Amino acid sequence: MKLYYSRNPNPRLAVAVARFLNSEIEFEFAEPMAPGQSERYISLNPNLLLPILERSDRTLWESDAIACWLSRRAGSNLWRTDDDEPEMIRWISWAKENFVKACDIVHWERGTKLRYGIGSCDNEMVEAGLRKFHKAAVILESELRDRLWLLGEAISFADFRMATFLPFNDVAGVPLEDYPAIQRWSDRLNQIDAWRDPFRGLDAPELPPLPLKRTG
């Protein structure tokens, strides 16, 4: 099996899950949208997006599906299969439309667009993203105030999914410090080697640097 990845948020998430589970797979850095590369990857994922898990029988794409498959194969409860599964899926679904989406909006404007020369930062979109962040963070803060993880005492994939963009917050700058429980939860995640540094020992070129800000 082979996991194709990059340092971008969703591929990073898949690599972190695989490293957390000690999955016995091969890792390969990939750039499906680079010039001349699409033909190689189009049969693996018609979207030409990462991550992609290549198996002997078929490929699997989308981070959540890959996390589910790897967890089941490892016999882990990271992806719940018991009565907690509906609650885990609820948080995954909510995250992608609320907390994660808010972080994504801000990171897109302050990070991705500038890294890849897509355009300038739209401050109105940043403000819209921050409003969405605060609205979601109030709910998440109340949930995490009296528990270690979203499902209680043990980590689940919902925690990883919710935190997808937090490793990029040095660029996005969403105000985690305004929410002590969320900050503690984020710090707890960063104590996990596989989350803090999923690319250790892997061939993983750094993301393009942000352009220097002009002064004067």
Tens of pLDDT, residue by residue over 42-68, are 999 999 999 999 998 899 999 999 999
Return the structure tokens found at 99. Answer: 């907390």
> pLDDT band for position 212 (50/70/90)?
confident
d(CA 156, CA 2): 23
Q: What is the 3-state secondary structure (H, E, C) of 134-194?
A: HHHHHHHHHHHCCCCECCECCCCHHHHHHCCCHHHHHHHCCCHHHCHHHHHHHHHHCCCHH
| Mean pLDDT of the 179-193 span | 98
What architecture (CATH level 2) is domain 85-196? Up-down Bundle (1.20)
What topology is assigned to 2-74 in CATH? Glutaredoxin (3.40.30)
The reported pTM is 0.95
Q: In the prediction, which pLDDT does 198 show? A: 98
Q: How is the chain split into domains, by residue range?
A: 2-74, 85-196
- Judging by beta carbons within 10 Å of its beta carbon (0-12, 13-18, 19+), is residue 189 exposed, middle or buried? buried
Tell me if 2-74 shares its fold with 85-196: no
Q: In the prediction, which pLDDT does 216 show? A: 35
| Mean pLDDT of the 17-28 span | 98
Tens of pLDDT, residue by residue over 161-173, are 999 999 999 999 9
Give percent of the chain with pLDDT exceeding 70: 98
Q: In the prediction, which pLDDT does 215 show? A: 39
Rg (CA), the chain: 18
